[in-house]
Amino acid sequence: MKIMTVGTGGYASVYVNGLLENTDPSIEYVGAVEKYPDTSPAKEKLDEAGIPIYTTMEEFFARHTADLTIISTPTFLHREQSICALSHGSYVLCEKPVAPMIGDAEAMMAAEKQYGKFIAIGYQLAYSKAIRSLKADILSGLFGKPQSLKTIIYGPRNRGYFARGGGWGGRISKDGYMILDSAISNACAHYVFNMFYVLGKSMDESITPARVKAECFRGHEIENFDTCVMQMETEDHIPLFFATSHATENWHSVEFEFSFEKAAIRYSMNDLPTVTAEFTDGSRKEYGNPFAGELIKMYDSLEAIASGTAPVCTVKTAVCHTKLIEGLYRNVPIVNFPAALIQEKEDDDRPYVYGLDELLNTAYAQGKLLSELGCAYAEPTEFTIG
């Protein structure tokens, strides 16, 4: 299988390094696309390995073919780059999320149909053996009916994080592109999507929350929000809760609790590093580390190409998250945290919101919005997703 990568820095380095270290003779790394190759941290390694670097996908496809194109670029480029690869006869593995807007996702699905090839979307947990085994047990009815799902993850980001890549971080739009970059759409996208995925009616389906009540806040000097707390509800009236922020003082690694009639499924990267089901009869079942295998998405995509099947997570599977991203943008106002709460971590060049860590922890424990915890500045907004 011939593979090319679009993007070489940031998360793309996982694929670049993995392919450079690959010893499987059936996999051939045939080229990389990088808009600014001279500043790429991977340039020296790619040059040493004899992997050609091009500044555009069109340049690459004028000289080569690829069975799989791996796209790890800013989200607002996903639509045009995925369609470009399809139009040149390549299947696609595109990093999450699908794209900022529903119209982008719809265009990508139309292109899949037009060219007869899939676009796999790289939500890591959907490919995880632990999560897929868990979902199979959910589908089998092992745990009974779902009662509620909740997830929390937060972590500070400095000013350099939002200045990355020419300054698209934390932006709503730039240079004619809708971007909608936020913790929900980018760094913490895997974890909110995971709740939608495990409740899907088949292994390649997700649910879309029908109703959302959300609060979006801003502590950084950015255009979009950096903190979000949501209460959601499925069409079947299953409550979902999610809290995240980039304006906290400290880190809180991902933690979730999914409650069912017969069991509670828990995971905490720090305290319980294997997904574990605790049944009401006192028994337990462990599913393993959900983050094992960084290249599992690539191998799943290659297997799907070879077998003529679809990968576990396509645009159709993942569009529910895009609907949420656009729904937040269109419906929920961004509230600035009170200036009196903004503190400065000068050694890390970042602001943080005093007391926010504790607020989010309490919100997660109780499944409540910040407005329900007495924060007078919080403004919850309800909206529906069609």
User: Could you report the per-residue pLDDT of 210-237, keeping only the tens digit for each?
Assistant: 999 999 999 999 999 999 999 999 999 9
Q: Is 38 helix (H, G, I), strand (E, B) or coil?
A: helix
HSE-up (13 A, CA, CB side) for residue 228: 30
Query: Going by C-beta distance under 8 Å and a sequence separation of 6 or more, which residues neighbour residue 237?
Result: none
> Could you tell me the two tokens for 276?
């574990």
What does the pLDDT read at residue 166? 80
What is the distance in angstroms between the CA of the first residue and the CA of the last residue of the chain?
39
Q: What is the mean pLDDT of residues 315-334?
A: 98
Do residues 125 and 133 lie in contact, with contact meaning Cβ atoms separated by under 8 Å?
Answer: no
What does the pLDDT read at residue 165? 79
Per-residue pLDDT at 386 exceeds 90: no
Q: How many CB atoms lie within 10 A of CB 376?
A: 8
Query: Going by C-beta distance under 8 Å and a sequence separation of 6 or more, which residues neighbour residue 326?
Result: 100, 101, 102, 180
Compute φ and ψ for 334, nearest 5 degrees: -95, 125
pLDDT in tens, 284-301: 999 999 999 989 999 999
- Cα separation, 265 vs 283, in Å, equals 12
Report the DSSP beta bridge partners of residue 363: none
> Could you tell me the two tokens for 357?
């860590």
Q: What is the mean pLDDT of residues 23-41?
A: 95
pLDDT in tens, 9-18: 999 999 999 9
Per-residue pLDDT at 348 exceeds 90: yes
The DSSP letter of residue 22 is -
Query: Going by C-beta distance under 8 Å and a sequence separation of 6 or more, which residues neighbour residue 121?
Result: 94, 95, 96, 97, 98, 313, 314, 315, 317, 318
**Angle between the 189-198 and 129-140 helix axes, to the nearest 10 degrees?**
30
Lowest-confidence pick of 127-131, 200-204, 219-223, 291-295: 291-295
Q: Could you tell me the pLDDT band of residue 243, with boundaries at 50, 70 and 90? A: very high
Q: What is the mean pLDDT of the chain?
A: 97
The string over 56-77, giving b where at least 16 C-beta atoms fall within 10 Å of a residue's C-beta and e elsewhere, is: ebeebbeeeebbbbbbbbbbbb
- Cα separation, 274 vs 291, in Å, equals 9
Q: What is the mean pLDDT of residues 69-79?
A: 97
Per-residue pLDDT at 383 exceeds 90: yes
The string over 183-213, giving b where at least 16 C-beta atoms fall within 10 Å of a residue's C-beta and e elsewhere, is: bbbbbbbbbbbbbbbbbbeeebebbbbebbb
Q: What is the mean pLDDT of residues 73-79?
A: 96
